[in-house]
Structure 1
Amino acid sequence: MLATGVLVFAFLNVVQTSSLSVVTDDETENLTSPNLDTLDSNNVDVFRQLLNQETLIRMTLVKNVHALMKDMLTLQEKLTVAENKISKIQTSTDHEITVLKKEIDILQTENSFLKNHSAFCKNDLENLNENLDYVTKSISDVKVEVRYLTISLFDINDRYREMEKLLQCFNVSTENIKSEIEDNDQKQSTELLEMKTQHMKTIDDIRNITRTLNADLNQYKTDQWRLSDSVSSLEQFRNNQTNTKCDQKQEVAFTAGVTSSSSTWNSGTLIFNVVITNAGNGYNPSTGVFTTPIGGTYVFYVSAVEYSKQYLRIDIVLNSVSKVRAIGVDSASYQTGTNMVVLELQKGDSVWVKHSYGKGYYSENVPLITLSGFRIL
């Protein structure tokens, strides 16, 4: 710009010098110096008019030169301002491009993770189906075994009753032997005692057999109870697996936002009162809490804007335990904080966003502050 101004100034000087010699035929001497006595009056008037016109032309040129120089300076200032604005815009654009590239990389990484996790979940589901088939077959086998054990238990009960009757008969025989010993003479007492001894041994053997049978019977009863409990547990497991298999197709996803700003919010739960999507009805816009309608793997994402350099720090909370944190710093106004978390949830678990530090938040009619979550099928 400086070189351009110098060239324009040199050009104007050349034009001015040339205009000085237009009337005088390239001579710089004073036009009034020739002897006017040799000229007639008409020629004198002509020369005077020419001199007046030359003066007017010079004055006009000087004004034009000043105006042109002023325009050049104004143009130079505007050009400098424009160059500064272009430089700022280029810097801001480069920064935004860098941020977008980083976000694209993060999204690609998350997408890859979700694809891998989806494949892993499919494998788990296939394994679960195989295990379910195996458990179903095992339940059928256990039922057959329970039937056999029940039949064996009935047989043992019958044998136990027969042994009781036999024991009663031996008791009766023992009483009879005692009577006969009292009635018989001394000679027969030895034989009767021997018979009594044999009968007592037989009775003891029968009693031992009875105890063994009672113990076996109790053991069979215990085994039957255990098998019944096992069958009940297996049936419940199969029902749970069947319900789980059906619930795998249930979709759970939500997005909610905040459309108003607050400069004083400094505690409690951040309530996203505007619901955009709520598949599965897990999110409650009145309380700001998401309650898991079905267990599984969930992804949650939060974004928040701090209010005019007031600093903002919020947490994603699972059952009152902070899992991840987002921060909007106060180095500049309206800074955005974001974060994402993947959680393994059981039915009935609660997830929400709570205040951690700072004060206030900023949003617009189209929400700048949002909370989203979905279940990975």
Structure 2
Amino acid sequence: MGITLVLMLIFIDSVSTFSISALTDSRNSTTEKEGKNADIIRSLLNQETIIRMALQQNVHILRKDLVTIQEKLTDVETKMSRNQVECTSAMSKLESRLLILIDENAALTNAIRSDLENCNENQLMSSMEIQQINQTLAGFDLKQDVAFTVGIAEFNKTWNSGTLVYNKIISNIGNGYNANTGVFTAPFGGTYVFYIAAVEYEKQDLGLDIVLNNKSKVRLIGNNQAAYQTGTNMVVLSLGKGDEVWVKRSYGKGFHSHGVPLTTFTGFLIKHV
């Protein structure tokens, strides 16, 4: 009985000691876990603080970049607005210039058309005059021993006085025309025909007379309504031996011609006295 009691007390003491030891171990384990958790929490807080600071710095940088972008955008919009104004102004000037060019082109077209019409009229007149000459000559004895055609092989825009000397001899049957003086001298008496044609120089008036012994007989004109107007005239004269015929300036200045003469002087005998 006594032994049994002793054994029970020993058992109870062992159980109590084990329980107290187990409880102490449990508390120590809980304390260690709580310490670890606290460390984790502190680490997370530190990381959160670092992240927050980094975010704040990034937000500051982004705001600064946004301000810079807005300034650049404003500058671009200003330049675009200014360029638009300049482009509008330039387009307006180009449109005005285009209208002027259209008007100038229309005026030039009308001028060319007018010149062509005048040229056609002059050519028609020249053809009619040649036909008249041919009809006139048809009734005469064409056995000629005196005839000449002379011309000028270059233009002269300043000539304005005296006798017009034709320096290019095309024909000079009978040698009545003097290329140095520009004067035809009748080798003998008879009825002669003289014809002149001249082209005025670039809208400069031109008047030329056929002169017999210092007396003007007929006159051609090239007016200044258009450039390079052609004037012609013809006369039939009774000449005595030694009479002189030439072409002189009446008014205006200059004349047009080239290698194949445009400005010419022609004369021939149609009847002996």
Alignment TM class, shorter chain as reference = 0.5 to 0.7
1:110 aligns with 2:133: yes
Instruction: Using structure 1 for the length normalisation, give the TM-score.
Output: 0.40
1:261/1:96 CA distance change after superposition, 3 Å = closer
Q: Does 1:254 align with 2:148?
A: yes
Percent identity over the alignment?
54
- Other-structure match for 1:304: 198
> How many Å separate the matches in 2 of 1:354 and 1:316?
7
What's the TM-score once normalised by structure 2's chain length?
A: 0.54
Q: Is the 8 A contact 2:115 2:227 kept in 1?
A: no
Runs (5+) with no aligned partner, structure 2: 1-105
Code of the residue aligned with 2:265 in structure 1: it is L
In 1, are the aligned partners of 2:115 and 2:226 still within 8 Å (CA)?
no
| 3-state DSSP of counterpart to 1:376 | strand
Give the structure with the higher percent helix. 1
Residue 361 of structure 1 deviates from its aligned partner by: 1.4
Q: Which residue of 1 aligns with 2:248?
A: 354
Q: CA deviation at 1:102?
A: 4.0
In the alignment, is the contact (CA less than 8 A) between 2:221 and 2:231 conserved in 1? Answer: yes
Partners of 1:353 and 1:309 in 2: how far apart? 21
Higher normalized strand content (fraction of residues): 2
Does the alignment pair 1:326 with 2:231? no
Residue 285 of structure 1 corresponds to: 179
Alpha-carbon distance between aligned partners in 2 of 1:92 and 1:309, rounded to the nearest angstrom? 11
Instruction: Structure 1: state its 5+ residue gaps.
Output: 1-83, 123-247
- Using CA pairs under 8 Å that are at least 6 residues apart, name the structure with larger relative contact order, 1 or 2: 2
Deviation at 1:319, TM superposition (A): 0.3
What is the CA distance between 1:110 and its match in structure 2? Answer: 2.9
Q: Which runs of 4+ in 1 moved over 2 A?
A: 84-116
Decide which of 164, 188, 192 is 1:270's aligned counterpart: 164
Q: 1:253 to 1:322 in 2, by over 3 A?
A: same
Distance in 1, Cα, partners of 2:193 & 2:156: 27
Quick check: 2:197–2:263 contact (8 Å CA) kept in 1? yes
Over 3 Å counting, the alpha-carbon distance change for 1:335 and 1:92 in structure 2 is closer
- Matches of 2:210 and 2:150 in 1, distance apart? 14
Shift in Å, 1:109: 2.9
For residues 289 and 93 of structure 1, what CA distance do their matches in structure 2 show?
34
How far does residue 335 in structure 1 lie from its aligned partner after superposition?
1.3
Change (3 A) 1:270 1:99: closer
For residues 103 and 250 of structure 1, what CA distance do their matches in structure 2 show?
24
2:260 aligns with 366
Q: CA RMSD in A?
A: 2.8
Q: Does the C-alpha gap of structure 1 residues 107 and 305 become closer, same or farther in structure 2, counting only changes over 3 Å?
A: closer
**Cα gap change, 1:286/1:102 in structure 2, threshold over 3 Å: closer, same or farther?**
closer
Q: 1:89 to 1:330 in 2, by over 3 A?
A: closer
| In structure 2, C-alpha distance between the alignment counterparts of 1:86 and 1:327, rounded to whole Å | 26
Choose 1 or 2 for highest CA Rg.
2
2:131 aligned partner, one-letter code: Q
Which residue of structure 2 lines up, in the alignment, with residue 225 of structure 1? none
Structure 1: distance between partners of 2:176 and 2:163: 17
Match of 1:337, SS state, is strand
Amino acid paired to 2:127: I
What aligned pairs does 1:1-377 form with structure 2 within 5 A after superposition?
A: 99-116=122-139, 118=140, 251-377=145-271
Count of residues in correspondence between the two structures: 166
